Structure 1
Amino acid sequence: MNTILFFLIPLFIIVVYFIIRGNPFKSKSIPTLSAAETDQLSQHVHFYQQLSPVDKGKFEDKIAVFLSYVRIEGIDLEINPLDRVLVASSAIIPVFGFEDWKYKNLSSVLLYPDTFNKDFQFEGAERNILGMVGEGYMNGQMILSRSALLHGFSNAVDKENTAIHEFVHLLDKSDGATDGVPDNLMKHEYAVPWIKMIHQEMQQIEKGKSDINPYAITNEAEFFAVVSEYFFENPKQLKDKHPELYQILSDTFLQDLASK
């Protein structure tokens, strides 16, 4: 009798544990995209269109996971499948080279109809902001202009994409400082050469001898975000005109886009 109890008591404890906590071996549901979202991805995202069938599936999976933990909310507009796909693509494109990346510093993306001002108003004067990463009480949120979001994916070979720009700021910020040196991504030995390269290129921009958007000279963080836009939007041109800059970004993002 004692022998039977010796085996039954632990079994009873295990059964009760599974009832209370749930079966840890039960597979969790895997997020997937809707048919409408996949269709929008195929039609509007050039980065996705250039991928192999295997990598397309990987991209879709990463987007579905992103949409499962980041809310996309419309301010005075209704969110549609294209909005969701473009916001998520903007997030995944910069981190596609990484096996597993989660934006731990982001909980929601607020989509405004158009440009807005520093007080987050999209009506009235001084509405010149296309996107921004929230600070202070807005920490963990990103604000994007829907018109800027759509424009960023309307031309596959320009050098500008506001949403990618803002997500690169989040990557930069993930090490605790938005300073243009993404310590969580960039190899340590690249940090000093990168800072030197930033300031050399800023001088060229100031002299009118560079095709990089002049907004890049605002500070090191904006330089990183601006040239990252260039890298993802027109990698072959960046490699042709700025080979050293291209190479360090390619090594940082683990993507050699110019070879595709």
Structure 2
Amino acid sequence: MNRLVEGILILIVIAGVLIYRITRKKKKKIDPFPANWHQLLLDHVKFYAELNAAEQKRFQRRIMLFLSEVYIESVSFELEDLDRILVASSAVIPVFGFEKWCYSNLSTVILYPDHFNKNLVFENSGEDKIVMGLVGSGRFEHQMILSRRALHEGFDRHNDRLNTGIHEFVHLIDKVDGVTDGMPERLLKQAYIIPWLKMVHKEMEAINANESDIRSYGGTNEAEFLATASEYFFENPRLMQRKHPDLYNMLHDCFFPNEKQ
């Protein structure tokens, strides 16, 4: 009996070593933060530039962690450092208020040089066909496709309430529970769900009646409202706080649950 127990223990140890080696091989190494990226972040990412030195260090660690977990690929052009920085910043900004966050529903971000259509074909004309970014489904599950031009414009045009990268990553946050429905359960406390829905529908009615400065795309459905309102929140928080105080407060509680206003 003792030999049987001993044999089982040996098998458990061997299995544990094998699992550890396999897991270790799969885990991508986190690279050190490149020194020249700090200035690129200061020049192009307003959210980062407004952080204090300690928070900037935390932001740097978060983008390097993201880049160790998610692959970034390009179509018809060669990736530059700024491309990687802006994709990673788009991912980190909406979840910076959380100590730990892993985009378990994302493996790859694919950058197209320009806008594209629903069939992932380059498209520069036809308003109804132009796509700046999308969260994949079906054969593109766990992938995000972004227009490089839209990604860069989102960060270069400050305070315009439009940021395609942040918009798509908010969709991913919304999708963590399996459904992209504008109800981000990971962000909203249970007591806030009904007030949130009431506020969303009220704001959507105002958008569709041309009585709101929130981008018209936010009136499409609840999921697009969440993503569009989040762009506004991160791009021009002061203006949102002044013009939409209740919505601002709700989004602040969602994205920065441990921070007092």
Conservation of the 8 A alpha-carbon contact between 1:204 and 1:210: yes
Task: Please show how residues 1-150 of structure 1 align to structure 2 within 5 Å.
Answer: 30-123=30-123, 126=126, 127-150=129-152
CA distance in 2, matches of 1:236, 1:72: 32
Displacement of 1:19 in angstroms is: 8.7
Distance 1:29 1:75, change over 3 A: closer
CA distance in 1, matches of 2:260, 2:68: 31
Task: Please show how residues 161-176 of structure 1 align to structure 2 within 5 Å.
Answer: 161-176=163-178
Distance 1:132 1:173, change over 3 A: same
- Report how many aligned residue pairs link the two structures: 244
Root-mean-square deviation (CA, aligned residues, Å) is 2.6
The superposition leaves residues 152-185 of structure 1 with CA deviations (integer Å, 9 ceiling, x where unpaired) of: 0012212010110000000000011100010011
Distance 1:197 1:29, change over 3 A: same
Partner of 1:194: 196
Q: 2:214 aligns with which of 191, 212, 225?
A: 212
Conservation of the 8 A alpha-carbon contact between 1:36 and 1:81: no
Query: Any idea what SS the aligned residue of 2:177 has?
Result: coil
Conservation of the 8 A alpha-carbon contact between 2:29 and 2:68: no
The superposition leaves residues 112-142 of structure 1 with CA deviations (integer Å, 9 ceiling, x where unpaired) of: 0100011001157645100000011100000
Displacement of 1:34 in angstroms is: 1.7
Conservation of the 8 A alpha-carbon contact between 1:134 and 1:141: yes
Distance 1:150 1:158, change over 3 A: same
CA distance in 2, matches of 1:216, 1:19: 51
Displacement of 1:29 in angstroms is: 5.9
Identity %: 50
Partner of 1:225: 227
Amino acid at match of 1:87: V
CA distance in 1, matches of 2:91, 2:150: 15
Amino acid at match of 1:100: K
CA distance in 2, matches of 1:56, 1:188: 32
CA distance in 1, matches of 2:124, 2:43: 34
CA distance in 1, matches of 2:57, 2:178: 32
CA distance in 1, matches of 2:221, 2:67: 31
188-197 or 119-128: which moved more? 119-128
Displacement of 1:69 in angstroms is: 1.0
Displacement of 1:256 in angstroms is: 9.5
Q: TM-score, normalised by structure 2?
A: 0.86
Query: Any idea what SS the aligned residue of 2:111 has?
Result: strand
Conservation of the 8 A alpha-carbon contact between 2:123 and 2:130: no
Query: Any idea what SS the aligned residue of 2:150 has?
Result: helix
Partner of 1:244: 246
CA distance in 2, matches of 1:227, 1:214: 10
Q: TM-score, normalised by structure 1?
A: 0.86
Query: Any idea what SS the aligned residue of 1:78 has?
Result: coil
